[in-house]
Structure 1
Amino acid sequence: MVKLGVGILGNGMATRVFHAPLIGAVPQLELRAIHARSAGAISPVAGVPLVQDLEAMLADPEIGLITVATPSATHAQLAERALLAGKHVVVEKPFALELAQAQALVALARGRGLCLAAFHNRRWDSDFMAVRTAIEAGAIGQVVHFESHFDRFRPQVRERWREDGSAGSGVWFDLGPHMVDQALVLFGMPLAVSADMGALRPGAKGVDWAHVVLRYADKRVILHAGLCVAGGVPRFAVHGTGGSLVKQKADPQEAQSVAGLPPQDAAWGVDEDPLLHYTGEGAPLELPVPRGCQQSFYQRMAQACLGEGEAPNKPEEILGVQAIIEAAILSAEEGRVVPL
């Protein structure tokens, strides 16, 4: 079997919890090196060396795919360097800070014949796949209201770049791309965006609450993220002309990885929480929930890089997400509806 060597830029939580385990679950990929700027850093993956010399890593002929998993403000610059070095590239969310940066990266990858993808692994979450399957099967008729909550309970502000108010920090850049990508997979691009964002926790420097509405001709899509939600809010609530869908609990894969469970385990992605289908008559029906499989992102990326398939997301999808992320920020800053 032909194996593609992979290098990861960044040795933080994203590498340890997401990228390294998912890459390790794909037979066609081999994680060969992790780049870290600090000389005293410890590799988050046993047996995989840390490399401080970025240029040497990008020049390594055994590495054909680079994953950029560094702080958000550095994504575009590092992705560009990897593409210029002739590498296929996966970029953590947010793909870039501005639409113009994203457009330049897409054009560069296309011009050099390289695969480029945004890390939208949440397309393979059990909760989203269950909702998507039910909607596409017509279970609730025409959708008129779709609500996605990506909430956490972190009431204390922490000293880290994700919360310090710097470029690319805040909950909208962190969690917003996942929710936007899922919405676009289901419904395509909206006509306009309206949003409200704030730093609501005591001492907060960056956005920790975001409420975004995607406006379509026949429906409204609500995307909400907050850091003071201890529970009681469904992950998804979808209402249509033929009923409603409610998924209470979130996909388990992140929690499983944090606990040390690998994707190869039989329990990986198994979601015990059913999708509830309300028809307006009697008790809700319990619909089956597929097993989560975020490793499918890297499986598809490997196939694309080896010339055996398409990348896990298309250039127009990457740019669509970026356009909405940017439009929502503008809407919140100026207090107006932003057309697309």
Structure 2
Amino acid sequence: MFFLEINNGIMFIVRKDDEMNKLYVAIIGYGMAGRLFHLPPLLGNPMYVVKYIMTNNEQTIQELKSNYPSIEIIHQIEEALTDQKIDLMVIATPNDVHYAYTEMSLLAGKHVVCEKPFVESLQQANFLFELAARQKKILRVFHNRQYDGDILTIHELIKQNPFGRIFSMTARFDFYSPQVQPRWRERPGVMPGKFYDLAPHLIDHVIRLFGLPKSLQMKTYKDREGALVDDHFEMEMYYEGLTCYLGAGQLFRNPLPRFQIDGTNASYYKYGFDQPDVNYLDIGDSYQSSGLRSELYTSQHEKVNIPILIGKHYLFYDKLAKDIQNNITQDSDKSYALKVVGLMEIAKKSDQINQIIEIPQSFQKL
């Protein structure tokens, strides 16, 4: 498109493409998270242009060149940090560089999305969010599972309140994967193992529904032969009159319910993982045709089948683009991200000392 501009009394014809308003993105790391959870919604959103992907895997490089020839492959994060055109850094690397790469990106004047688990300590998380505020940039932790269809369905169900007083909730990620794999998540290092991998999702679910607990207890296990890090955890979060049971394991041949909610008037059970697992199309309130069990029991023998919403994972990057455009750097995502890191830090201590630990009152201010 062409516009007239006047500068010092001289009229110019200036071309202003829609590209000028787009957000240019560098995806740092291209494993499962980059491939499945970041690149598709970014490519599907007209507000973003993915300029760079950082990877050093030769097979991945060839696949990217074949499938996405317009995306440039880089090998070092500095190549993106020094490009003034890059607005957003997506940190989808192994966990050991989350802190360093987030700090480097903010110092370079970029907005940042960082994969979970974010960082090891609340002190580190606070520092990075404070740095983002000083830099006047947005920092978001990628809690994309808040947009899963089943948890969206549960939020709606709790609003309708068929349960009476809820006294128990269970949320799980169980699999049957008996062989230890030669992957970084299954080797000793920074934030390895199943607890760091999946607890962020489950804790985020619970605190969005019920707020902070009064105390918690967590225990990790190495169930599989040859396991070098935890492949199973069980965690309990204690509220006044309510206990939330969280867990994940890799030797569950007949998995427990994905979600279970029990109240004085009704119970809800949902089995299996959403189909589709993620959805990046805005199709409104549509329902899965997966046939997964999603049942509300009002007595021992009376049940109602509850339709499961299709997920709305596109909302994460939709919301981020609007916030960047409107210069909104503070919202509830920061509070939840800090609380998840703080609760996980306490949970690790609980695992070490094998005790229930009370949550500090200071967490209410996060």
Tell me the percent identity. Answer: 30
Q: Over residues 194-243 of structure 1, what are the superposed CA-to-partner deviations in whole Å (9 max), with x where a residue is unaligned?
A: 01111111000011010000111120011101011233411100001221
Q: Are 1:279 and 2:279 matched, yes or no?
A: no
Residue equivalent to 1:83: 106
Q: Secondary structure at the match of 1:171?
A: helix
**Displacement of 1:127 after TM fit?**
1.0
Residue equivalent to 2:260: 237
Contact conserved, 1:145 with 1:240, CA < 8 A, in 2? yes
Among residues 29, 39, 42, which one is paired with 2:48 in the alignment? 29
Map 1:170-319; keep pairs closer than 5 Å: 170-254=193-277, 263-264=280-281, 270-272=288-290, 273=292, 275-280=294-299, 282-307=301-326, 313-319=332-338
Contact conserved, 1:117 with 1:311, CA < 8 A, in 2? no
Contact conserved, 1:72 with 1:97, CA < 8 A, in 2? no
Residue equivalent to 1:120: 143
Question: What is the rounded CA distance, in whole Å, between the counterparts of 2:79 and 2:48 in structure 1?
Answer: 20
Residue equivalent to 2:185: 162
Contact conserved, 2:281 with 2:312, CA < 8 A, in 1? no
Question: How many residue pairs were aligned?
Answer: 334
Question: What is the rounded CA distance, in whole Å, between the counterparts of 2:116 and 2:276 in structure 1?
Answer: 18
Contact conserved, 1:301 with 1:312, CA < 8 A, in 2? no
Amino acid at match of 2:288: V
Among residues 63, 83, 94, which one is paired with 1:60 in the alignment? 83
Among residues 118, 121, 129, which one is paired with 1:95 in the alignment? 118
TM-score (norm 1): 0.92
> Structure 1 residues 165, 53: closer, same or farther in 2, change over 3 A?
closer
Residue equivalent to 2:14: none
> Structure 1 residues 280, 40: closer, same or farther in 2, change over 3 A?
closer
**Displacement of 1:71 after TM fit?**
0.6
Q: Are 1:17 and 2:36 matched, yes or no?
A: yes
TM-score (norm 2): 0.86
Residue equivalent to 1:46: 68
**Displacement of 1:142 after TM fit?**
2.1
Contact conserved, 1:234 with 1:248, CA < 8 A, in 2? yes
> Structure 1 residues 38, 276: closer, same or farther in 2, change over 3 A?
closer
Residue equivalent to 1:336: 355
Task: Give the 4+ runs in structure 1 shifted more than 3 A.
Answer: 37-41, 262-266, 268-271, 308-313
Question: What is the rounded CA distance, in whole Å, between the counterparts of 1:56 and 1:14 in structure 2?
Answer: 21
Q: Secondary structure at the match of 2:152?
A: helix
Q: Over residues 126-178 of structure 1, what are the superposed CA-to-partner deviations in whole Å (9 max), with x where a residue is unaligned?
A: 11111111012212122110000111211100011100122211001001101
Question: What is the rounded CA distance, in whole Å, between the counterparts of 2:262 and 2:112 in structure 1?
Answer: 38
**Displacement of 1:64 after TM fit?**
0.5
Select the structure of larger CA radius of gyration: 2
Unmatched segments (≥5 aa) in structure 2: 1-17, 360-366
Q: Over residues 85-144 of structure 1, what are the superposed CA-to-partner deviations in whole Å (9 max), with x where a residue is unaligned?
A: 111111100011222111111111112111111111001101111111101221212211
Q: Secondary structure at the match of 1:195?
A: strand
Contact conserved, 1:165 with 1:207, CA < 8 A, in 2? no
Question: Could you say what the CA RMSD is over the residues aligned between the two structures, in angstroms?
Answer: 2.2
Amino acid at match of 2:117: P
Q: Secondary structure at the match of 1:107?
A: helix
Which structure has more RCO (C-alpha within 8 Å, separation ≥ 6)?
1
Contact conserved, 2:282 with 2:314, CA < 8 A, in 1? no
**Displacement of 1:283 after TM fit?**
2.9
Among residues 327, 330, 339, which one is paired with 2:346 in the alignment? 327
> Structure 1 residues 225, 232: closer, same or farther in 2, change over 3 A?
closer
> Structure 1 residues 164, 271: closer, same or farther in 2, change over 3 A?
farther
Contact conserved, 1:148 with 1:222, CA < 8 A, in 2? yes
Contact conserved, 1:303 with 1:310, CA < 8 A, in 2? no
Question: What is the rounded CA distance, in whole Å, between the counterparts of 1:333 and 1:78 in structure 2?
Answer: 29
Amino acid at match of 1:46: Y
**Displacement of 1:38 after TM fit?**
5.2
Question: What is the rounded CA distance, in whole Å, between the counterparts of 2:137 and 2:128 in structure 1?
Answer: 11
**Displacement of 1:54 after TM fit?**
1.9
Question: What is the rounded CA distance, in whole Å, between the counterparts of 1:308 and 1:120 in structure 2?
Answer: 21
